[in-house]
């Protein structure tokens, strides 16, 4: 004879601790190992669905059931969660270093993790991206048709003065091509010679429309540049090594969207910033997703600055860098 729900509830509350643990195991086995629905296993065990759900929760809380997230990618979920809590992030992607010291291999692993995250966002009609070595690497790992028909807009000027050995300014085109989408480019230098030139260019309807599109992108994705002679801004001819040294002396830790920032994310040199054509960093705060990608311990200082200033709410990095940022916090 089946029991009415009220009778089952009385029985459920009056059972001993041993009986309750036995029920936890039976519920967990049916739910996790046998793939039964909550309704079916509750009926089989003579419980209400609420009771079965409660027993399953108790089984997890007491340690009878231990759930371990094992992603197929070399991600570290527990470290990601720590990073999210510490820096109030919407999401974190941390890939294992596996003792790897080669910066190129670390960049490749982080870029792959970033590409998987971006491809997993689903249908996003408009995405803004920066350019550089990191973003070029991410583009190379995006699967075909990852967001078919997406419009990709470039967020900072990318017309190089000098061609580096590896092309890094075609990120928007690569993002769009892999998704069978369209790219809206910003065909101007990232940093100009005079502030008046920047003001004039930004008033041009063509350039103005691209900048406005970038401001409206709900999702943006950017790399982080170090301060040094090997940075893409130096290699592309936008700033000289002497200017870089002066920026470092003034407290610059790197650049984001071609804008040089200090350890707290503040603009270091207003004069250079007045000559820069790119998305205003303050607008990064208002995006649904602002995805910052920093691979390797050399990016630690600029990543920390972005976290402090909250220019990003999604952070993609490697294990060593993530641990160093947790130590800082």
Q: Which residues pair with 126 in a beta bridge?
A: 151
Q: Give the per-residue pLDDT at 149.
A: 94
Rounded to whole angstroms, how far apart are CA atoms 320 and 102?
13
Burial of 98 (0-12, 13-18, 19+ CB in 10 A): exposed
pLDDT tier at 1, thresholds 50, 70, 90: very low
CATH 3.40.50.1360 in the chain, residue ranges: 77-328
How confident is residue 5, by pLDDT bands cut at 50, 70 and 90? Answer: very low
Q: What is the average pLDDT score of the chain? A: 90
For the chain, helix (H) and strand (E) counts, in that order, are: 15, 9
Please state, for a pLDDT cut of 90, what percent of the chain lies above it.
Answer: 69
- Does residue 163 surpass a pLDDT of 90? no
**Cα 225–229–235 angle (5° rounding)?**
75
Which tens digit of pLDDT belongs to each residue from 222-273?
999 999 888 989 988 899 999 999 999 999 999 999 999 999 999 999 999 9
Is the pLDDT at 139 greater than 50? The verdict is yes
Q: Does domain 5-62 have CATH number 3.30.465.10?
A: no
What pLDDT is recorded for position 287? 93
Q: Which two tokens stand for residue 145?
A: 């048709």
DSSP 3-state of 267: strand
Closest CA to 98 of 90, 108, 89: 108
65: pLDDT strictly greater than 50: yes
CB 319 within 8 A of CB 95: yes
Name the pLDDT band for 4 (thresholds 50, 70, 90). very low
Q: Write down the pLDDT at residue 2.
A: 39
Distance in angstroms (rounded) separating the CA atoms of residues 286 and 186:
21
Q: Where in the chain is the domain with CATH 1.10.10.60?
A: 5-62
| Half-sphere CA count of 248, side-chain side, radius 13 A | 14
- Measured from the Cβ of residue 46, the count of other Cβ atoms closer than 10 Å reads 14
- Give rounded-to-5 percent helix, strand, coil for the chain: 50, 15, 35
Given the candidates 3.30.230.10, 3.40.50.1360, 3.40.50.720, 1.20.140.10, the CATH classification of the domain at 77-328 is: 3.40.50.1360
Please give the structure tokens belonging to residue 158.
């990318």
Report phi then psi at 316, rounded to 5.
Answer: -115, 125
Could you give the count of Cα atoms lying within 13 Å of 220 in the half-sphere of its Cβ?
A: 30
Lowest mean pLDDT among 3-7, 200-204, 290-294, 298-302: 3-7
């Amino acid at each position: 004879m089946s029991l009415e729900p009220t009778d089952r509830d009385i029985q459920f509350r009056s059972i001993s601790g041993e009986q309750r643990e036995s029920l936890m195991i039976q519920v967990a086995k049916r739910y996790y190992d046998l793939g039964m629905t909550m309704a079916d296993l509750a009926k089989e065990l003579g419980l209400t669905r609420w009771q079965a759900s409660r027993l399953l929760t108790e089984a997890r809380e007491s340690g009878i059931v231990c759930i371990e997230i094992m992603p197929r990618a070399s991600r570290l979920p527990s470290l990601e969660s720590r990073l999210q809590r510490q820096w109030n992030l919407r999401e974190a992607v941390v890939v294992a270093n596996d003792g790897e010291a080669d910066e190129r291999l670390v960049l490749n692993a982080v870029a792959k993790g970033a590409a998987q995250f971006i491809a997993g966002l689903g249908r996003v009609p408009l995405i803004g991206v920066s350019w550089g070595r990191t973003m070029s690497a991410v583009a190379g790992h995006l699967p075909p048709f990852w967001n078919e028909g997406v419009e990709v807009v470039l967020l900072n000027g990318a017309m190089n003065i000098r061609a580096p050995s590896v092309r890094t300014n075609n990120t928007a085109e690569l993002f769009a091509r892999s998704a069978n989408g369209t790219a809206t480019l910003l065909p101007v230098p990232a940093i100009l010679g005079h502030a008046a030139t920047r003001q004039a260019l930004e008033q041009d309807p063509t350039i103005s429309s691209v900048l406005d599109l970038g401001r409206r992108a709900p999702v943006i994705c950017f790399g982080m540049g170090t301060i040094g002679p090997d940075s893409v801004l130096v290699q592309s001819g936008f700033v000289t090594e002497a200017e870089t040294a002066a920026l470092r002396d003034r407290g610059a830790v790197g650049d984001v969207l071609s804008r040089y920032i200090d350890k707290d994310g503040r603009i270091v040199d207003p004069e250079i910033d007045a000559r820069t054509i790119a998305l205003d960093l303050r607008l990064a705060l208002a995006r649904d997703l602002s995805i910052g990608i920093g691979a390797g311990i050399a990016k630690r200082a600029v990543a920390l600055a972005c976290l402090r200033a909250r220019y990003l709410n999604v952070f993609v990095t490697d294990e060593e860098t993530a641990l160093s940022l947790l130590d800082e916090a």
